[in-house]
């Protein structure tokens, strides 16, 4: 069964360093989502792509976070510089159609980031 | 106040018990999702509802649009049901999910 792939699964870094996370959605899925989940809370959308275009990045802290999906397939989320408050699980999800109400979102295993 | 509230936050029960997890929301929605998150982070979509009731195996999800409330029920609970259950709503006119904080369920043998 096709799955959303993410790497690394775990990342420990020191504050002020740069980190990058990678996501490969299910083949053929046009929509890709990056979520941040702080321990004990539900996920929060950071950025949504439709193919290579950003649909929603209203909750992305653009002073330090960036995301790209250059060829409309896999995606990279970067944080520079990392801060202590960035420690969280970063989840990637994909769906076939745009809009969460038209199709199920499939989630990857996540990248757990710890900033020391 | 969060747009999506779940209760209880934590629930511990014995194997075989009937489980109910509740979700209330304060905005107009197009659909509501129930998700299961296992230790380690992986999330699986269980149900997507816009009205009525859905059943899959021992899981039942209901929604009352007028009351802005949904419930997830688990019959004959089993230790493998132990996970965090998350309610998420698609806000009308928007194309993104808003998540509840999750309910941590522990089923003891």
Q: Which residues of chain A have pLDDT under 70?
A: 1, 98-103
**What is the pLDDT, as a whole number, of residue A100?**
52
Cα–Cα distance, A39 to A22 (Å, whole number) = 21
Cβ within 8 Å of A, B 17-46: 30-31, 33, 35, 40-45
**What is the pLDDT, as a whole number, of residue A70?**
87
Q: What is the pLDDT of residues B2-48, one digit of tens each?
A: 899 999 999 999 999 999 999 999 989 989 999 999 887 788 989 99
Instruction: Name which of B4, B40, B48 is nearest A109 (Cβ-Cβ).
Output: B40
> What is the Cβ-side half-sphere exposure of residue B93, based on CA atoms within 13 angstroms?
2
Q: A110 and B100: CB-CB below 8 Å?
A: no
Instruction: Name which of A45, A109, A112 is nearest B97 (Cβ-Cβ).
Output: A45
A100 interaction partners in chain B (CB closer than 8 Å): 31, 33, 90, 95-97
Cα–Cα distance, B33 to B87 (Å, whole number) = 6
Q: What residues does B76 pair with on adjacent strands?
A: none
The strands making up B52-56's β-sheet, listed across from edge to edge, are B4-7, B19-25, B69-74, B59-64, B52-56
**Is the minimum CB–CB distance between B100 and chain A shorter than 8 Å?**
yes
**What is the pLDDT, as a whole number, of residue A40?**
85
**What is the pLDDT, as a whole number, of residue B93?**
76
**What is the pLDDT, as a whole number, of residue B68?**
96
Is B94 a residue whose pLDDT tops 80? Answer: no
């Amino acid at each position: 069964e096709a799955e959303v792939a993410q790497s690394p699964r775990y990342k420990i870094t020191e504050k002020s360093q740069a980190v990058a996370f990678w996501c490969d959605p299910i083949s053929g899925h046009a929509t890709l989502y990056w979520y941040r989940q702080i321990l004990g809370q539900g996920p929060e959308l950071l950025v949504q792509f439709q193919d290579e275009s950003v649909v929603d990045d209203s909750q992305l802290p653009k002073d330090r976070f960036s995301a790209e999906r250059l060829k409309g397939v896999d995606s990279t989320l970067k944080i520079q510089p990392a801060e202590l408050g960035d420690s969280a699980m970063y989840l990637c999800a994909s769906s076939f159609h745009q809009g969460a109400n038209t199709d199920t979102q499939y989630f990857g295993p996540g990248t757990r980031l710890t900033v020391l | 106040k969060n747009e999506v509230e779940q209760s209880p936050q934590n629930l511990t029960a014995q194997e075989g018990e009937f489980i109910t997890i509740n979700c209330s929301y304060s905005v107009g929605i197009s659909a509501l999702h129930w998700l299961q998150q296992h230790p380690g982070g992986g999330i699986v979509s269980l149900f997507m509802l816009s009205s009525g009731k859905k059943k899959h195996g021992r899981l039942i999800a209901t929604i009352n649009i007028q009351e802005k409330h949904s419930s997830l029920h688990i019959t004959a609970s089993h230790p493998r049901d132990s996970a965090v259950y998350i309610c998420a709503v698609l806000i009308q006119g928007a194309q993104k999910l808003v998540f509840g904080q999750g309910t941590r369920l522990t089923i003891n043998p």
